[in-house]
Chain A
Amino acid sequence: MLKPGSRLKSAVCDAEVMVIKAGADDEVTCGGAVMATDVSEKSAGDDAQMHGCLIGKRYVNQGDSIELLCVKSGDGSLYCNGEELMTKDTKKLPSSD
Chain B
Amino acid sequence: MAAKTLNGEDLIVGMELAEPVLNHYGQTLLVAGSVLMENHIKLFKTWGIRSVIIKTEETVVPADLTKTLDFETMTILKRRMNWTPMNDHEADLFNLAIQIISKPKQ
- Judge: A and B partners, yes or no: no
Residues of B within 8 A of A (CB): none
Q: Which A residues form the contact surface with B (CB < 8 A)?
A: none
